[in-house]
Chain A
Amino acid sequence: MRTPLHLAFASTLCVGVVAAQTVPAPVPESEIFSPEQIGHALAPPTPQAGRTAPSAANAPPDDGQWTMPAKNYAQTRYSELTEITPQNVGTLTAQFTFSLGVIKGEEAAPIVADNTMYIVTAYPNYVYALDLTKPGAPMKWRFAPGPAPASQGIACCDVVNRGGSVDHGKYIFNTLDGQTIALDVKTGKPVWRTQLGNIAIGETITMAPLVADGKVYVGNSGGEMGVRGWFVALDEGTGKLLWKAYSTGPDKDVLIGPEFKPHYAADQGKDLGVSSWPPQAWMIGGGNMWGWANYDAELHTVYHGTGNPGPWNQEQRPGDNKWTTGIFSRDPNTGAARWYYQYSPHDEHDYDGINEQLLLDMPFDGKMQKVLIHIDRNGYIYVIERNTGTVLSADPFGPVNSIQGIDLQTGRPNMNPAKLTRVGQTVTNICPTASGAKDWNPSSFSPHTGLLYIGHENMCMDWEDVQVNYIAGTPYVGALVHMKPGPGGNRGLLTAWDPVARKPVWQDKENFPIWSSSVVTASDVLFYGTMDGWFKAVNARTGEALWRFKVDSGIISQPISYRGPDGRQYIAVLSGVGGWSGAVVSGPVDPRDGSAALGMVAAMSDLPKYTTAGGTLYVFALPQH
């Protein structure tokens, strides 16, 4: 009813009416399972069998550019640049900044190719090209795609965009109103634009397209609007649709055929995407792919997760709700499914399966294996063999009590009956919360330390299911949620995780959930940002704080490391708080309503005391001597 402009007025009007809600007390430690109680693996650790690292095909030698959000196909976010070290990072200095002209949640990674930096903003999805060869990095061009304004009102969790990629002379990105656009990097003019989403049914696109093998892979958002999830491949040269795979419905729609060989019995059978739902419910059942897909150059395979089933009220959709909250392996040429694994069958807690996968060669059971590591919303790190979809290990990396371990014979989580949700009753202290032990923000991996760096959340929730009607283009949620801090009260954690030993090596606490990704360098410096506006460097081996810089607004984006035209190492990051967790600052939200922003406001009502909305590029380097 009101435009964002009006918030300036609105904010002054509630003065003195009622004080803000205070952040709820943390969930007691006694509510949480210990990792020892529930950790599982098919075999004990065998670190002597080899060193964990991505293959050269998936992570070629670093050329100093940063052409895709996750750096390489393995998605390690690892930079081989070593000019900045733990010893000298304390002198790191801002070199230039650039206002994005948008003050919504900025989740994208800056992209660097041919001495030009490309940035896509939150709605209205401006794209900027900055010339890194000139002082102050002046703008080469700006592109304004003009997405439909109404798309703002159907985006579940702020109007974010997770970035673009440069490939074959094109910058390729998505718009909130459902377009994929390829721009000529020289001119900023569209080479092609393809309309994929339909806002009239609540469909948006927020993910960063995966560009690989001459194709552009895109998935839709809308799991809170009863939108049926899909994942498509477009021709990179023309934008033409090559194939489309739905996340629900009959096998022919899901591209399940003779090639499909899932490892677990629960995923075998005909048309499970129909029979694991009440009649017709799969048509509005979600399973949206709004996170990270991988192209595996070694096995010539695409992997992508699927989001939560809709509605959140689980009583309206008895069954496993295939193929939501899981992961597909597909043939890139045809889209044909090869295997699938479901992290959260019949999800009751909004645990989307769309978080990142890292493609690594890892010692397991005495030999090197090709694995993908997936850090799920449900609180577990999965190590999955990439050829077969077999789960080798699954361990909690944060506080959990909704799942009591994963049964590696059946692949199914052991659900804690005390934390299942239902209509007419508020189930309290469910951990992790709906946004997960970690949300979309990807982890990094250093082959130098052998550690995964996971920025994540320590939050829990109270949840009551409520009956909800499907009305096209409106939310289809059906749950009253109130979030709260997890044990200890620190809502964020930075965990350095040893995937071979299956345990954390160190942890740093943060007051707010970590909603940014991280970048780790060959000199063992790890960079990440916080929601209260600190950009930080820590020692990747110890977690020791090395340096920090206060930026204009909270950070929920993806920092990068690149080599400038002058040969120096630069670190770049976008500020701009927002997203689901930051909606209380960037969105049209009143902190007195704890259920606002799908229950996130209860746990984040103090964020406006720490940061304001913003949106700026910051670029750092060591001082020149």
Chain B
Amino acid sequence: MYLRFHSTSQARTSAGRRATLGAVLLMAAVHAGCNHGPGQGAMPAQQPDHFGVVDSALTPGVGKSLVSEDPRAAQYYDNADAVTAGKRLFAQYNCNGCHSSGGGGMGPDLMDGGWIYGSRLAQIHQTLVEGRPNGMPAWGGKIPDQELWQLATYVRSLSLPATVAAESDDTPGQRPAAVPRAADEDPGWTPPASTTNDYGTTLEGSAYEGAASSKGP
């Protein structure tokens, strides 16, 4: 994956363009669905692009997908109150039972900037509404929608550099930053500049003295 993205930047740009076009087609398809009911026409991912090639995106939400355009998301950007409310709800609805203070446990961690179902507020909101197959409950219709948006905002905040930088001990997510609009304007997953290991230390040197000197029979 890393090599592919890096060595074919031209292809990547082209993929982005196709994705944008795909989104337009997707919007069109949804409109068609609204007007004529379900079951009419192909799914958007199966629409041929202007080269006649079926288009798809391997990374969810790449480009301006439908959900990233959800107008309901707009009011939760740059909104400190929403993040604060979301933090309270995160405990109230037992989200912290699985996701701890963002570091995970029964459920995945939410603070490392990696997402399967997309990082945009609207995508996180959709995950909360629909649930996900490996144990994430579906909360749509069970939690008021405004609270789901506030929760999504707090969850999005957990991996923001500003939120991470605000922590001084090992209980993160206690001083969450508001989610800037710019945070959701990146094109999605990008390869990291360099790769060491899981937690920001290098594999050589003093960090590993403990391992090297580990005594045992």
Q: Which residues of A contact B (CB under 8 A)?
A: 1-7, 9-21, 149-157, 224, 466, 468-469, 471, 473-477, 480, 482, 508, 510-511, 530, 532, 534, 536-538, 544-548, 583, 587-598, 601-602, 605-606, 608-610
Distance, CA A606 to CA B198, complexed state (A): 11
- Check A20–B199 contact: CB distance below 8 A: yes
From the candidates A16, A476, A482, A588, name the one contacting B200 in the complex (CB within 8 A): A16
- Check B201–A19 contact: CB distance below 8 A: yes
Distance, CA A154 to CA B106, complexed state (A): 6
A593 with B102, Cβ < 8 A, contacts A20-B199, A474-B97 known: yes
Interface residues on B, range: 35 or more
New A-B contacts (4) at CB < 8 Å, excluding given A17-B200, A596-B104: A149-B135, A534-B216, A538-B217, A595-B100
Distance, CA A594 to CA B167, complexed state (A): 12
Distance, CA A593 to CA B111, complexed state (A): 9
A593 with B98, Cβ < 8 A, contacts A1-B108, A154-B135 known: no
A473 with B137, Cβ < 8 A, contacts A2-B114, A590-B112, A591-B198 known: yes
The winner among A19, A151, A595 for most chain B CB atoms within 10 A is: A595
The winner among A1, A224, A587, A602 for most chain B CB atoms within 10 A is: A1
Mark out the residues of chain B between 172 and 204 whose CB falls within 8 Å of any chain A CB in the assembled complex: 172-173, 189, 192-201
Chain B residue numbers with a CB within 8 Å of A469 are 92-94
- Check B100–A596 contact: CB distance below 8 A: yes
From the candidates B98, B112, B114, name the one contacting A474 in the complex (CB within 8 A): B98
Q: Can you pick out 24 interface pairs between chain A and chain B where the beta carbons lie within 8 Å of each other?
A: A1-B108, A1-B124, A2-B115, A2-B117, A12-B192, A13-B192, A15-B194, A15-B197, A20-B198, A149-B133, A224-B106, A469-B94, A474-B137, A475-B97, A475-B98, A588-B109, A593-B173, A594-B170, A596-B101, A596-B102, A597-B100, A601-B103, A608-B198, A609-B208
Min Cβ gap B128→A in Å is: 9
- Check B135–A589 contact: CB distance below 8 A: no
- Check A153–B134 contact: CB distance below 8 A: yes
- Check A153–B106 contact: CB distance below 8 A: yes
- The chain A residue sitting closest to B93, CB to CB, is A471
Chain A residue numbers with a CB within 8 Å of B207 are 609
The 7 closest A-B pairs by CB, nearest first: A153-B135, A593-B103, A545-B217, A475-B97, A10-B114, A596-B103, A594-B170
- Check B137–A588 contact: CB distance below 8 A: no
Chain A residue numbers with a CB within 8 Å of B104 are 587-590, 593, 596-597
Min Cβ gap B173→A in Å is: 8
In the assembled complex, B136 has its CB within 8 A of some CB on chain A: yes
Chain A residue numbers with a CB within 8 Å of B135 are 149-154
Distance, CA A476 to CA B91, complexed state (A): 11
Chain B residue numbers with a CB within 8 Å of A4 are 134
Min Cβ gap B111→A in Å is: 5
- Check A13–B112 contact: CB distance below 8 A: yes
In the assembled complex, B17 has its CB within 8 A of some CB on chain A: no
From the candidates B98, B105, B113, B172, name the one contacting A13 in the complex (CB within 8 A): B113
From the candidates B97, B100, B194, B217, name the one contacting A593 in the complex (CB within 8 A): B100
Min Cβ gap A448→B in Å is: 20
Distance, CA A454 to CA B93, complexed state (A): 39
